[in-house]
Amino acid sequence: AQTVTQSQPEMSVQEAETVTLSCTYDTSESNYYLFWYKQPPSRQMILVIRQEAYKQQNATENRFSVNFQKAAKSFSLKISDSQLGDTAMYFCASYNQGGKLIFGQGTELSVKP
């Protein structure tokens, strides 16, 4: 079965500091893809970063980076130099070759001034 689990319903961080959001997943596929999406109060879904499972190198996009631990099926998101505009719900997601795209429960991140 394909599952995605986020165990942190809420997190907060001071502006300019670093925060890490956790995600674990399970899949029987050997080739799959992982994503972090951001959902601000506008409800718009915005891609933050993606990782291909066959790539060993962790993905990085500016202030956002992932720690991909394939054996542990862990895919955490690190946000450096947090900004007020980073306040949002963050969703971890995975899809496999069968095409099914599954999301975790979400982590509500608050960046405090």
Partner 1 sequence: NAGVTQTPKFRILKIGQSMTLQCTQDMNHNYMYWYRQDPGMGLKLIYYSVGAGITDKGEVPNGYNVSRSTTEDFPLRLELAAPSQTSVYFCASRGQVNTEAFFGQGTRLTVV
Binding site for partner 1 (CB under 8 A): 6, 33, 35, 43-45, 47, 50, 52, 91, 93, 95, 97-106, 108
Q: Which is nearer to partner 1, 50 or 78 (CB)?
A: 50
Q: Which is nearer to partner 1, 98 or 113 (CB)?
A: 98
Report, in Å, the least distance between residue 96 CB and partner 1: 10
With contact defined as beta carbons under 8 Å apart, do 97 and 107 qualify? no
Q: Which is nearer to partner 1, 35 or 111 (CB)?
A: 35
Report, in Å, the least distance between residue 103 CB and partner 1: 4
Report, in Å, the least distance between residue 16 CB and partner 1: 27
Q: Which is nearer to partner 1, 5 or 14 (CB)?
A: 5
With contact defined as beta carbons under 8 Å apart, do 4 and 73 qualify? no
Report, in Å, the least distance between residue 57 CB and partner 1: 15
Largest separation between any pair of C-alpha atoms in the chain:
43
